[in-house]
Chain A
């Protein structure tokens, strides 16, 4: 086989295929993990009938969704109605393809970076650009359904995504300042050179990124576009069968993408913890790819944990949080990080140490605060509520 064909056609094709399949598979398995974990959080069992521990539940669900009737509302804009789910799904896959999963590997005698697309020198910017396309999927499917609730859900999500893209972008800029590059591989290498993951000096930026990321993926507590108590199913009310499943996969795909980018920017991508400390080198027995996926997995668990913990925001609270809290915080954080970077190599470490100490002090203060004793009246009213 000619070299050109191998390197420019076959390898990219295989990588792309693996990315799509891995995303679909991960989305399926994640639904099972999420339902089981939510069961634990709510002191019930969750799905446990199909297969060991209910593991094959997601396969059963997929089979059901594939064979379900695909209903398109009679007065919907047919073409756009079909296009909506795809516009949401494709950006999720592309973003995952732009994130490096590991350093160069040799498989079947071919050496190639573990990276679906090439390492662009504007990779991070392209990730932000591509993920804005996903909004079109939501608002388009909301509009094309020609129905009230989907339209409201679509408009809500447009407002939400536009608002939360600002703090997300500013948080990413902090990471760019620290690494001095827009290339994803170069950002990881910068963390190896600095000797710390950027999560320590970028603690605030990471927090902002992840909160905005939860908002961008429409997950609880920011799942207003599909708030079922107000909007039925939100923008995907009028979808059924496999097309609804594509929405579901995109939601999980976006979660994975956000987690992968957060891992790369702030948690050293495929680097082991403390990449410069020599006596920790025994950790290298775990391949780089598994460090990466492990970190991504922890973020996904955090997503599920959020869902079990926080109640949903009201829409005005959501907007106030975005514009009045997150954006000012991100601007101040950006200035602090810029000063630390100007200071030099020590600057990042000092900033990281200060932030970690502050968080530790905060946690200590919360821990020392005496728990408010439950008065008998609140107990009684709680009982009444349960019975009602």
Chain B
């Protein structure tokens, strides 16, 4: 097998095993760890697709995000006392049905798209991906390319998103302060 293909399947396996682990594990901490594993696998796949920036940001952002999840679980959920009764049990059969339906629909779309893409585009040249031409200026590396896109072409959506995040942050601080005052 070609080395690149071998590594692709290895990373893909890591990603899928991680994703399954998130759902299957009964202990929230274990789920969080499998989520981390899955995200790391996705980051490796990004590196293989010559999107190093996206890979690094993926690890940086999501590793931090899962850390918060981790802390929530430790501090808010009493993980030592595991649930013995199976709650949400009546929903199991409809959930399986809808899950299967979802898998068929999404899987069909993905397979279809992949077939038409494979027919049209030759295998992408990683060097061509890493070099982007913006207005006749050759921009090297995908960091610069992402920068151009984010801060020029999609400037307004980017700014709106950052305002949203700021609002969410201030909201969290206000809510947190209110509970603190109650405790004082």
Contact = CB atoms under 8 A, between A and B. Distances in A.
Given A125-B53, A132-B64, A136-B36, A155 B59 contact: no
A155 B76 CA distance: 13
Nearest to B59: A129
Contact of A126 (B56, B140, B142): B56
A139 B143 contact: no
A121 B64 CA distance: 22
A129 B60 contact: yes
Interface stretch (B8-16, B66-74, B158-166): B66-74
B63 interface: yes
B88 interface: no
Contacts of A182: 143
Contacts of A128: 56, 60
B78 to A, nearest CB: 13
Interface of A: 8, 80, 120-122, 125-126, 128-130, 132-133, 135-136, 139-140, 143, 151, 155, 158, 162, 165, 182
A158 B74 CA distance: 12
B56 A136 contact: no
A132 B59 CA distance: 9
B56 A129 contact: yes
Given A136-B36, A155-B74, A182-B143, A125 B67 contact: no
A370 to B, nearest CB: 45
Interface string B106-141: 000000000000000000000000100000000011
B170 interface: no
A182 B144 CA distance: 10
Interface of B: 3, 29, 33, 36, 52-53, 55-57, 59-60, 63-64, 67, 70-71, 74-75, 130, 140-143
7 contacts: A80-B33, A121-B141, A122-B56, A125-B60, A128-B56, A132-B64, A151-B74
Contacts of B141: 121-122
A120 B36 CA distance: 23
A125 B36 contact: no
A132 B63 contact: yes
Contacts of B55: 122, 126
B63 A129 contact: yes
Nearest to B73: A143
Label chain A's interface by main secondary structure: helix
Label chain B's interface by main secondary structure: helix
Contacts of B36: 136
A128 B63 CA distance: 11
B67 A135 contact: yes
A121 B141 CA distance: 7
Given A122-B56, A136-B36, A136-B63, 11 more contacts: A8-B3, A80-B33, A121-B142, A122-B53, A125-B57, A125-B143, A132-B64, A136-B70, A143-B74, A158-B70, A162-B67
Contacts of A140: 33
A155 B75 contact: yes
Contact of A162 (B3, B64, B130, B140): B64
A139 B75 contact: no
Contacts of B75: 155
A125 B56 contact: yes
Given A121-B143, A125-B60, A129-B59, A158 B52 contact: no
Contacts of B52: 120-122, 126
**Which 8 residue pairs are nearest across A and B when measured between Cβ atoms?**
A129-B59, A125-B56, A129-B60, A121-B141, A122-B52, A126-B56, A132-B63, A122-B56
Pick the most buried of A8, A129, A155: most chain B CB atoms within 10 A of its CB: A129
A125 B53 CA distance: 8
Contacts of A130: 59
Given A122-B143, A155-B74, A132 B56 contact: no
Nearest to B70: A139
Contact of A143 (B29, B56, B59): B29
B69 to A, nearest CB: 12
Pick the most buried of A121, A122, A136, A139: most chain B CB atoms within 10 A of its CB: A122
Contact of A155 (B57, B63, B71, B143): B71
Contacts of A8: 3
